[in-house]
A and B are shown apart, each in its own frame.
Chain A
Amino acid sequence: MPLKKPAPHAPPPAEANAEMAQLAASFVEESRKLLEEAGEALLALERDPDDGQAMGALFRAVHSIKGAAGLFDLPALVHLVHAGEDLLGAMREGRLRMDSGAADALFEGLDHVGRWVELFAAQGSLPPELMETARRYAAIYRARLAGLEGAEGAPAPAAAAVRHAWADAAGLPEGAPLVTIEYTPDESCFFSGDDPLRIAQSLPGLVWSELAPREPWAAPEAFDPYVCNLVFRLVSEAPHSEVEAHFRYMPDAVTIGLRESEPAPDPEAPKAPTGPLSPLAVELIEAQRRALAEHPRGGAHVAATLRNVAAALGLPVPPEEPAAAIAALLATAPPASEPEPLAIAEGSATRSDTPAERTLRVEQAKIDTLMNLVGEMVVAKNALPFLARDAEARFGSRELAREIKDKYAVIDRITRQLQSAVMEVRMMPVGDLFKRFPRLVRDIARKQDKLVRLEIEGEATEADKNVIEALAEPLTHILRNSLDHGIESREARLAAGKPETACVRLAAAQEADRVVIDVTDDGRGVDPARVRAKAIERGLIDEARAAQLTDAQAVQLVFLPGFSTAETVSDLSGRGVGMDAVRSVVERLGGTVTLESRCGEGTHVRLELPLSMAVTRVLTIDLGGQAYGIPIDLVIETVKVDPADIRRLKSAEAIVLRDAVIPIARLRSLLGMEPHPAKLESVLILRLGHATIGLVIDDFGTCMDIILKPFAGILAHMSGFSGSAVLGDGRVLLVLNLKEML
């Protein structure tokens, strides 16, 4: 990723590389942000083409990307962005209107730029063939501009700004304005019947030509005569419009510039000295004449500039009156002595400190490491209660045991604070995730010719980065389902007496220690009859059972593995992942998903997730001498029940607790173990979804924080367990997935 030119007084290579890398990293990060802003602004413009603020924001974002990209060797990226900027410039000035076609083309272009930025981030350069893509989009943008110019007959402003450096060296006749053309035929142009040589030869008003290979010629064995590798530099005395017309079928292969004759020298201006005054210095001094013309009465800045230039060049202090100073500076012969060597100037000034950052940017990997360390600390800390028990039981020192427990309490508190501090750092607003959905909804809606308004609420709600990131796919899927299957066609909506534009609402909120995300649409809803039929057809449920289900229960069948309501496989719904995939992701995160639907009125999917997922608090239980963990947030209470109080209703069992009948299940039988009669049954009262259920176990253990590791490899599909954790004393705790079991 070399800069276009080596910087003057280049620092040692290592330092230069570090600076370069820093610059590149900054460019990548900034471009990502700008692309995001551009995308948002473009969406806003599509809704309201007259949104001047969005237009300004979009133009600035694209303009900034172009400006920054120019520092690197990224011709394709600059080419595309430049063309986009020209188009947006015309729109900003009101010469052209944003429409959905233009928005589509701009969106696609931005997507390409986004990919290229990532490619640049990964590889440090871009493959040259991307220029093809850049040209294609540039052509699309220019075509829109050209349409505009055709309509208004205005000259092409972008073309007029092109200046071909080679034209200066070509020794062209002075006087009449000439049109300079650089014609780089497309590599594959021979296949579309073009003969670039003939096109060049037949250029009207041709006065000068030069022909060269675009890239050095390949070795003879590798030479392909049918890949055009020529570039033509042409100069014409024909009018600009005529030249443009000549190349109208290949606007992308040519740049057309104007070589205006040199402006007549100001007769009053003293002749610039040809002495050692550098051209830049002369230019700078001349520029003050212009600056002064604009500020005849002010001019303090002109005088100051002239004084500084004089000082820099070692010339005597010029007169205070600016016009006189300009004349004096241009007239004064520079001093005979050599100017001060630059090295001295360098030494005199102190190096400035790098500008201070207000926020600290940290790589995610570092936070992850910190999080893992906190996790290990939690586990290590959990060893202390075992140590206290040993102190008492094996060494008979109750005092030591109490002291260990006291210390444990302190370490426990600090660990918790540390943990929440790190959690805090990891929190990010769901808005970061929601940002991508307006685009998704727009694209799908356009493909299906539906009108959809996406309302987003609660973007500021925060949750752990892992939770947010893991939600991207399920939410995408839910939204796609909603647009594919929920939202009706425009005709159907009108026929049903609904507004033509459908509404999809995406809302996030925090409830206690959980994030709740609601996705609501006003589409046709889920048809319980169709769901029943499909479930039976797929063999997921038998007819008798299906008939027993209420409609509300029936729609939940969509969460069963192997169920998909998609009538046709569209490219939109993705690879046949159904709602079961959504459910499994959400549940893996320790969350729940529910679906409510009113046929004809709409669907409401609710995701509830823990704010953070790194540490899980579990209640350990004992079963046949083995410890199991149950997520504490499922446990309402623990009770000891006389076996005689367990009522039998047919084959099911239940207890009555504070006048409520609670069905119970026995963990031993769920796990296929022998029953274990006890004098008092230990029952965990659990909340699973909206149901309350009692679970009979052998004995309760304690509460503890664990780092839950999902099973990997062949264990990954083991049902009934959500993962394992290593306890402080080295034992492995299996954490039950009761939702799956019951």
Chain B
Amino acid sequence: MSGRSESVSTAGRRGADWLGPLLFTVYCTSYAAFVAVAAFATFAGGVPVGGLASEAVAGVPWGIVAGFGLIIGAFVLAVLYATLARTPQDGAQK
């Protein structure tokens, strides 16, 4: 019984081991893309040319859409991680 529980726990742990880096890479790439667009694709010679200055989405400017996306996206990934990376030990520790 204990051995089975340990192996399930180890499997759950292994899940957390790859899930964390995967989700981190997803978010890191999104954040880097946002920063790069703000720095290099939004202005040329001080004049808005595209990027965050592109036409708004449903009346909301791109900068706000991207910002809200990064904030809400962080929470969504965090919940995903907390749900999928749970191990049987987590339940026992409640």
The finding on whether chains A and B are genuine partners in a shared complex, rather than unrelated, reads no
Which residues on A are within 8 Å of B, measured CB to CB? none
Q: Please give the residue numbers on chain B whose beta carbons come within 8 Å of chain A beta carbons, in ascending order.
A: none
